[in-house]
Structure 1
């Protein structure tokens, strides 16, 4: 079947949301060519269709894996997605697949994972699924040279790279100003918190009660946390979507906000201190050159048994202090409350920014938009 020229199907996280690199590219494409709205569609899970349609009334949605979805996905000129498509769906040979992916990898990916701990999938099957999927990608966006090299290995990818930085990070350059930050705070909270600390941990592949159901318990006490930070501090918890309903903040609802569905770049912009562990949020947040605190409370297990890391994850290489134990975590928080920064880690942060953010310029979305408008031609 011939493709419909200029038509684009976008998809974020297997249709669970409208976000990330695909949304940034979609917005830029409509800015560059307003008539493109008639040719652009977001593929979403049927269970999310009503909510997302209400949130984004101007976007044309198609329900994933329904008969109506088929006529769009089968004849799309472009697919723009940040995760894998099911192996059973065959891509039209005339469709150009732009794979944006969804983060700079710290943890092992794809073929590089020696032992897969995901229920219902063997290691060999998991590896082959990645290889087969990557063979369908016509373009793969890389945010930095480090990621470029890893993607090539982990996906066995031999196609065309777009070494341009992440489109989703463009807003960290255009929106990093007092007016934009104040507007985001007002929209999210209805007031202007003086200090925002965000806790954004990764998810644990092996922490599940049954297939598809994951657990998560906060690794610190909220009362102790607020005892160490300034009285004006608001804590934002950004959990993985698989565990967003499993976090207990009873008694602290006024000072803690669980925001799993808000565009994380908006959260970066309002965050004064990021607390994370092994999540790739560290690489994106580094664009802002703001303080980070690392709390890898299960480091030995995660690094050595579960996923493995691509680089030496230690105090010398991280762009902020690391706490392995809860007592250390509270002590570092107290230090931040007094100093407002981690002065001993400014050099680390600058080096980290140079390594992982040097391709970021605030123009990645524009480059992908122009690629689409030129019919997939890079020249």
Structure 2
């Protein structure tokens, strides 16, 4: 810990020096999920700006060893060049927190896109933080220091705006424009090619349908420094036996445990935890299996079946995080607590829309409120306004 503190103080000193350098007014630095992915709303905004404003210098931050498309200009995270580019960029775009030691220059516009509509309690609304290497007090203090740097925050619906204001103690500009990452759901001309790309990547027979299993991260999965517990909550062997002829199951776990998932013994199961952009997995999937993850809000735009495998509902709701709304009443699909119930529901997917149409429409009206395929353009206009005045 002492060594980490020394390194952070040194990096902060270096950035303080770099902030004296002149900014490049048309330079924009993007980052998605701490540099681990080329994905999400930062990617959507980046790709539109690259087409519409080629005069801008657009750079994506990435972690060492992470592969990006060759035509994307990148910088490795936590390097001197990265600090220099942050200090001299007019705009930062990120979907998660940046390191606390960073100094935001006064003229820098920091656009925080965030990464989901919240079901689980966030940040300052959390009563007890059960995360690695922190305490509740330290976590909340760090969050307040981060959000004080945000110039603008994107919101996908009125429900989220209210929560974001309070949970992030955010007093800046709330951009109620929808999520740029969700524009893809309304760009139907792209859908067939994306589906074909995913099928080819995972060598899926074109006659098969796809199920996506994408559970949330559980804060209490931390066991020790660099160690996280993991156990798949249903039998892949049983899935293979019952559904392998009709479906391929894509499993999308959190990056901290995804690499530990070995599915090589199951011909109809793929580990999709490292696929660059989950939005493309949505497009290729005929149905979603999740629990309390915010993926439900994004997948709902496709009007396809969602099943909720909530085997630990009471523990997660009452002890780990807590929910912002009555999930059991508003969920746009069945809540299933056992493997037997989950598999029975998979056998009934054909009439899912008939059984859950009313709840699903109400869910879409509330949580898919501002997405219309134009959010990236609205975000881009906000950035361009800061660049050119």
Q: TM-score, normalised by structure 2?
A: 0.90
Closer/same/farther in 2, CA of residues 58 and 144 from structure 1, 3 Å limit: same
> Cα offset for 1:193?
4.5
Q: Does 1:3 align with 2:23?
A: yes
In structure 2, which of residues 170, 176, 197 is the aligned counterpart of residue 163 of structure 1? 176
CA distance in 2, matches of 1:181, 1:60: 23
Runs (4+) off by over 6 Å: none
> Cα offset for 1:71?
1.5
Aligned to 1:179: 192
> Cα offset for 1:105?
0.7
> Cα offset for 1:259?
1.1
Q: Does 1:42 align with 2:56?
A: no
Aligned to 1:275: 289
In structure 1, which of residues 206, 231, 237 is the aligned counterpart of residue 245 of structure 2? 231
Closer/same/farther in 2, CA of residues 172 and 78 from structure 1, 3 Å limit: same
> Cα offset for 1:307?
0.8
Are the counterparts in 1 of residues 195 and 280 from structure 2 also a CA contact under 8 Å?
A: no
Aligned to 1:26: 46
Aligned to 1:66: 79
Aligned to 1:299: 313
Out of 9-18 and 369-378, give the one that drifted further: 369-378
Aligned to 1:13: 33
Provide structure 1 residue ranges, at least 5 long, that are not aligned to the other structure. Answer: none
> Cα offset for 1:148?
0.7
> Cα offset for 1:85?
1.3
Q: Does 1:106 align with 2:124?
A: no
Aligned to 2:340: 327
Q: TM-score, normalised by structure 1?
A: 0.92
Aligned to 2:355: 344
Q: Deviations over 1:115-164 (max 9, x none)?
A: 01113211111111111111111100001111111111100111101101
* Count of matched residue pairs: 367
Closer/same/farther in 2, CA of residues 152 and 135 from structure 1, 3 Å limit: same
Are the counterparts in 1 of residues 157 and 176 from structure 2 also a CA contact under 8 Å?
A: yes
Q: Deviations over 1:163-193 (max 9, x none)?
A: 0111011011104776335433444234425
Alignment of 1:186-335 (within 5 A): 186-190=199-203, 191-229=205-243, 231-252=245-266, 254-262=267-275, 263-314=277-328, 316-335=329-348
Q: Secondary structure at the match of 1:157?
A: coil
Out of 92-101 and 177-186, give the one that drifted further: 177-186
Q: C-alpha root-mean-square deviation of aligned residues, in Å?
A: 1.8
